[in-house]
A and B are shown apart, each in its own frame.
Chain A
Amino acid sequence: MIQKPDPTQETLVLNMGPQHPSTHGVLRVVLHCDGEYVLDAEPVIGYGHRMHELIGEVRDHRGFYANVGRMDYGGALSFGHGHILAVERMLPDLEVPERAEYLRVITTELNRVASHLLWFGAFLLDLGAFTPILYSFDDREAILDLLEHVTGARLTFSYMRVGGVAADVDKDWCDGVIAFVKRMRERVPMYHKLVTGNIIFRKRVEDVGHITRDMALKYGCTGPVIRGSGIPYDVRRSEPYSIYPELDFEIPTSERCDCMGRYNVRWEEIEQSLRIIEQAITKLPEGPVMADKVPKVIKAKGEVYQAVEAARGSLGYYIACDGTTSPYRMKIRVPSYSNLSILKELTRGILLSDLVAVMGSFDLVIPEIDR
């Protein structure tokens, strides 16, 4: 699998990772370098493999739910949302209250903003700017405070339940969310002034890591990576779920196809998420947050595939059940995995520094790949 270095060629084999500041986790990339030029980059994954899919086949549905957030520490709620929606689709009698669905969307979108802010800081850290991460964490902390208040946790939320959500919110919390949306909108121009316009930043990301439409489709990229290549694919619109059809938002795309395109798309997405949050919080209906008749023990039969739009792209749960309490087969399609597989083709002949920028622009979360 990994190419042996050819002694007659002037290549230097450089193992970037498993411990390296800009692989964001235990990812190893075997680089064949000619000087600073990367001839071949082969990602080696699996250092943090924890067999989440197998755990899903051993535990019951509720028991596994706590694990899904661990796969993507950045946007744990989307992962939970997908799992819960998949399980609920296997229970046709279940009537999920509308308020619960709204709360799921609000918290998920808040989490998406937090995840993008985390990516923003880490990306800039990869490019060598130390300060933006602390500014973005300032805003992210505000989101986490809000989420902690309703879910009780700051990172792995485990907020949703089969049939609803774990806790209701009050008026103060809604006001807090609206205040946050206002605050975030005021902060966005600052980020653009500090980073987006900066000539060094622009030179580092513009025309770097060019992913053509065909390439993006071929590798099954999703999320900001494919939208950064100009394809408006978003599960929230193309395979609508939850209450997204009722909400008014756009799918931002960029025709740039480079790191700058993906960067712009993510910032646009933050704006759109803020719009969604604003609409959902004004529309938030009254009522219970848990369905009336939720089976104590979930015994489902059949198979289901549910995709949701996580912060990094399309996330799918395939669950096949044979009537017992735990799934017969569980398969999770994670976005970062497909996004990472493009790396080998994309980074041929670019500079080492560009490789770091490209990997940063993918917003890789390694536990998600090594699930």
Chain B
Amino acid sequence: MLNYFKEIFVGIKSLLIGMKVTAFYGTKKTITAHYPFEKIPITPNFRGHIDLVVTKKGYHKCISCGMCERACPSGCITIEAVKPEGAKKKKLTGYTLDFTKCSLCGNCVETCPTSAIKYSNDYYLVGTSRHDFHFDLLARAMKAAEEMGIEWTEPVEKPKEPTEPQAEGGESPAPAGA
């Protein structure tokens, strides 16, 4: 009998304590960010999709070795490169990333021998079709260079080699990109 009343008393008390907690937080400031108006600052370490690094000279560092392509478990990287007649190195003509398949493991970035790719900070990615996420990274790099105010210049090969026509190399990838 005593237990019966004790339980009622303890129960009511516990309910009141719970209500006190919610009342306490009810009077405090809200902690949410109102998304379209406010944005939470994103950590610089954020791992977005990959991007080609734009050097100070205004070019990428990719040597078209294909390590990233092989390291990628999902096969989302496609590299197109040509070896111009007489040139020593391959020249990158297309670097496409199929972000719909990417699992953000980071293997490509870590295997790259020249650190030519990095994670982008592209947090607010939206698109209306899956084709919006087929990125042409070369075009993106050119655009990034433009935004940074650096002229996209292909480095001149060693002078003894006969040079290929310059203008074509830079513009070969499709202008429409991300």
Give A contacts to B, CB under 8 Å: 59-60, 62-67, 70, 131, 135, 138, 145, 148-153, 156, 158, 161, 166-167, 190, 193-195, 197-200, 202, 296
Contact = CB atoms under 8 A, between A and B. Distances in A.
Given A148-B45, A153-B104, A161-B110, A66 B73 contact: yes
A152 B171 CA distance: 33
A194 B22 contact: yes
A145 to B, nearest CB: 8
B31 A138 contact: yes
Nearest to B21: A194
B10 interface: yes
B115 interface: no
B14 A152 contact: no
B107 A131 contact: no
Contact of B21 (A190, A199, A296): A190
B31 to A, nearest CB: 6
A342 to B, nearest CB: 30
Interface centre among B17, B18, B110 (most CB of A within 10 A): B18
A158 B45 contact: no
Contacts of A158: 47, 103-106
B15 A66 contact: no
B103 A66 contact: yes
A199 B11 contact: yes
Given A131-B22, A193-B18, A167 B10 contact: no
Nearest to A64: B73
A67 B103 contact: yes
17 contacts: A62-B105, A63-B72, A63-B105, A66-B73, A66-B105, A66-B107, A148-B45, A151-B45, A152-B47, A152-B119, A158-B47, A193-B21, A194-B21, A195-B18, A199-B10, A199-B11, A202-B14
B123 to A, nearest CB: 11
A135 B12 CA distance: 23
The interface residues of chain A, by DSSP majority, are classed as: helix
Nearest to A154: B46
B128 to A, nearest CB: 24
B134 to A, nearest CB: 20
A62 B20 CA distance: 51
Contacts of B18: 193-195, 197-198
B118 to A, nearest CB: 11
The interface residues of chain B, by DSSP majority, are classed as: helix
A145 B15 CA distance: 33
B17 A197 contact: yes
Nearest to A196: B14
Contacts of A152: 43, 45-47, 119
A63 B107 contact: yes
Nearest to B48: A152
A193 B119 contact: no
B35 interface: no
Given A63-B73, A148-B43, A199-B11, A135 B25 contact: yes
A199 B15 contact: yes
A156 B110 CA distance: 18
A199 B21 CA distance: 15
Interface residues of B, number: 28
Contacts of A150: 45
B38 to A, nearest CB: 15
B62 interface: no
Contacts of A194: 17-18, 21-22
B15 A198 contact: yes
B144 interface: no
A70 B74 CA distance: 14
B71 interface: yes
Contact of B45 (A66, A149, A202): A149
A167 B15 contact: no
Given A59-B73, A167-B45, A156 B104 contact: yes
A256 to B, nearest CB: 18
A65 B105 CA distance: 8
Contacts of A156: 103-104
A197 B14 contact: yes
Contacts of A138: 31
A58 B15 CA distance: 55
A104 B47 CA distance: 18
B73 A198 contact: no
Interface centre among B46, B73, B119 (most CB of A within 10 A): B73
Interface in B98-134: 103-107, 110-111, 119
Interface in B32-53: 43, 45-47
A190 B131 CA distance: 48
Please list the 4 inter-chain residue pairs (A to B) with the smallest Cβ-Cβ separation, ordered nearest first: A63-B73, A66-B105, A152-B47, A199-B11
Contacts of B11: 199
Contacts of B107: 62-63, 66
Contacts of B20: 193
Given A62-B71, A135-B25, A198 B45 contact: no
